[in-house]
Structure 1
Amino acid sequence: MRTLEILTKKDIQKNEFLHYFNESDIVGGINSCAPGEWCLFDFRDMKFIGFVNSFSKASDSIVAFMSSSKNPTELLGELIKKAITKRHKYTTYQDSARLIYGEADNLPGLVCDEYKNVIVLQINRAGLDLHREFIRKSIEELCNKKVAIYDNSKERQKEGLPDFNLDELPDEIEIEDMGLKYSLNKDQFQKNGYYYDHRENRQSLETFIKGLKNKPKKGLDLFSYLGSWGFHCLKAGVDSVTFVDQAEMKENIEKTALKNEIDAARVSFIRRDVFKKLDEYKQEGMTFDIVVSDPPAFAKSFKAKKAAISGYDKLHLKLFDVIADEGYIVAASCTKYVTMEELDQSFNKAAMKRGYNVNLLEIGKQGYDHPMKSLKSRNNYIKYLLYYTEKK
């Protein structure tokens, strides 16, 4: 294993374990190194081990760990075990959780989700891809469950990594999340997967509704996908929920109701563009007692932030067109570049325009299996705001 020298002008925090560098930070560069090659790094009195990739399109083409270890698999094994052990501290995460969340677990480029009948692994960094079978076996031994490697082609292209034949998935991916059972056929799963990130917020909403003296009667779950928000509402005592999504999820919604012993008469699914459906509801004079809005990300980069906020402004106005004179609205977001405060400002601006008083009742972030170091962490992206709304 070769040793590379980091330029002394570089400012490095001694209390950080994970570090990123680019080619210009290394004396002599990294062009002579193979993609994904593991190296030792020297910087003054500090020692690092890590991997490089001159083919990477990312600005941080070098990943280094502040460790005296000289054995990549030993280091990876320790980090994998630590991440999974952390999830298994929680009783609700025993066999359904994000086991490894990339950089947040000091394993950038590694994402691993556990379901009832399979564990799905994505590897998107060259240095980790070099040890893909070791990583797979390590997780299988720790969890006693089959691991299917299911690489993200777009992410791998950024690293100049080849696509391998994808491992075979079960025909149905079985999911259990906060006391509710779901399933996705493998074709649906390959397109979208399942989202654990709002799990604590969905549970919090359920607990809140259960504590109400008068439960909301009619619920609306927008951008519903598998219907996780709506089913938590039903479980809490909401009489009926309408699910709206542009994808065809009717069979999934009906199947989930059956799996969870929820009367089919309490659920209905509409395949429609959410914005257009809200306009139709307004024209019909249709209102709901509780509305949940959890759209997909409105911005994939910071440059699109202004357009994203404009999108939330438009959406939040439409939510007030369908809420009852007294009701509850969940404004959720997975757009990393829009802050909690900006989401709240957008919602309150819409309330003012539509003539509603609002009270912010709950706020939430991503679940424990999507850890973050602080609110400023770049992997902090989930926002949950629950409001009581009242017509002036």
Structure 2
Amino acid sequence: MKQQRSFPAFKVSKRCENRLKGGHPWVYDNEIEVSPDGVENGSIADVLSPKGSYLGSGLVSLNSKIRVRILSDNANETFGESFFRRRIRYALDHRKTVMGDDISACRLVHGESDGLPGLTVDRYNDILSVQVLSYGMEQRKDMLYRLLTEELAADGVDLRGIMERNDVAIRELEGLGTGKGWYRADFLPTPPESPVTEICENGIIYKVDVENGQKTGFFLDQKYNRLAAAKLAKGKKVLDCFTHTGSFALNAAFGGAAHVTAVDVSQFAVDTARANAERNGLSDKMDFICADVFDLLPKLTEEKAGYDFVILDPPAFTKSRKTVNSAERGYKEINYRAMKMLPRGGYLATCSCSHFMTNEFFVKMLMSAAQDAGVRLKLVEARQQAPDHPILMNVPETDYLKFYLFQVV
């Protein structure tokens, strides 16, 4: 340690020491061997090894099993405003590098992967949609929002508003309330009257409701996976299951598919997808079905519907380790049905967005489904989330999206 520390310090177990040295930024409550007296919720604290060596400093969450989220292992850091400004600037500059000029609809801050644990920031043109998921970030959100506004302005982006999407149960584990709505501050203009805005992704225009849409308004992480699927769709009859706002279906149609059927159990989602198709002039090669995919796939197989490309983009069937096995059955069922329906030489796009469904487990499920369906899978491409959702190595929680393109042979 290079200087006298002014922060309270937690002493942790050897197991925790090894994990922190490996790059994982979380300290769990059951790994703490010595706690400081009077430490305040949301404050900065040091983390020390069993022998007292400095491991890092982070935000304290007294109500969470994740007791400390490491911000930095620089013993000279004081964690003032300049620290958070640098982190935001690093995050913005990284997006410019990995996404190029196409960052008008983009994840700007991806929590732990950007050294800002518990903070998610998505940009939809001149609106930010933000989730704050840790107590320490909640305490600092006024500063963080101002810094985001200033740094984006330096890049020529003048924000019209910041929508807080804190309507997630995980905040309750931090002792925080839930809710959503426009954030108001002197450094921002009066919020827009409507939470609906438009974005353009892969040449396709979408309406995005930043207040009522899924997650922060749109699933930005599949951006390049949609392009990969679109390349295979040319001239094919495509079935897009769990279409939501129609993003995979629209990319397939835009990519030259002969016809695309988009399916979702939600009538609102189907209506939104249909409106997006009309907005992009693609209605003539698309149709829409409101149905449960689990019920529809066997029916389409019996009817010999003739699809030669099936896209499966389901919601996360599991959000905890306890439900992985039941989720595996759901994933296997839809993949098995898709494989049975497709002709030899047909194509399958399939994915999982849960980090609890590990890649190894997901691939094992696919192989089992293929065996039961009596087919083999020829890998076209294996992909992950878009690079604006960076994966921090040795932090499996940041590596969540599995996306595979196969030919069924």
Note the residue ranges of structure 1 that are not aligned, 5 or more in a row: none
Confirm or deny: 8 A CA contact 1:291 1:323 kept in the other structure.
yes
| Contact 1:344/1:385 (<8 A) preserved | no
2:202 partner amino acid: M
Counterpart Cα distance in 2 of 1:231 and 1:388: 21
Q: Distance in 2 between matches of 1:139 and 1:86?
A: 15
> Is residue 2:39 matched to residue 1:33?
yes
Residue aligning to 2:88: 80
Letter in 2 for 1:339: T
Residue pairs, 1:350-361, within 5 angstroms: 350-361=369-380
1:159 is matched with: 174
CA distance in structure 1 between the partners assigned to 2:360 and 2:19 by the alignment = 30
- Partners of 2:31 and 2:362 lie apart in 1 by 38
CA RMSD across the alignment: 2.7
Q: In the aligned structure 1, how far is the partner of 2:363 from the partner of 2:33?
A: 47
Q: Distance in 1 between matches of 2:246 and 2:377?
A: 26
1:60 aligns with: 67
1:137 Cα shift?
1.0
One-letter amino acid of the counterpart of residue 157, structure 1? E
1:273-324: CA deviation from partner (whole Å, max 9, x where unpaired): 1111112213323230111011111111122222222222211121134323
* Matched residue, 1:201: 225
State how far apart, in whole Å, the 2-side matches of 1:341 and 1:15 are: 25
1:186-213 CA distance string (max 9 Å, x none): 5641677211112121112223445xxx
Q: Could you tell me how far apart the structure 2 residues matched to 1:275 and 1:8 are?
A: 47
Q: Contact between 1:38 and 1:72, CA under 8 Å: does it hold in 2?
A: no
Higher mean alpha-carbon deviation, 270-279 vs 339-348, is at: 339-348
Q: Deviations over 1:249-281 (max 9, x none)?
A: 23322322233232x121111111111111221
Bigger mean CA deviation after superposition, 103-112 or 152-161 = 152-161
1:291-370 → structure 2 map (5 Å cutoff)? 291-370=310-389
- Aligned amino acid, residue 283 of structure 1: E
- Alignment-derived partner of residue 222 in structure 1: 241
Question: Structure 1 stretch 294-303 or stretch 65-74: which is displaced more?
Answer: 65-74
Q: Distance in 2 between matches of 1:2 and 1:108?
A: 22
Which structure 2 segments of 5+ residues have no match? Answer: 183-190
**1:4 and 1:26 in contact (8 A); partners too:** no
Deviation at 1:176, TM superposition (A): 2.0
Identity across matched positions, percent: 23
**Pair 1:253–1:27, CA change in 2 (3 A):** closer
Q: Given that residues 233 and 255 in structure 2 are in contact (C-alpha distance below 8 angstroms), is that contact kept between their aligned partners in structure 1?
A: yes
Distance in 2, matches of 1:30 and 1:22, equals 15
Other-structure match for 1:3: 7
Counterpart of 1:290 (choices 306, 309, 312) is 309
CA distance in 1 between partners of 2:256 and 2:180 (Å)? 45
In 1, the alpha carbon distance for the partners of 2:317 and 2:216 equals: 16
The TM-score normalised by the length of structure 2 is 0.84
Instruction: Give the match's secondary structure for 1:232.
Output: helix
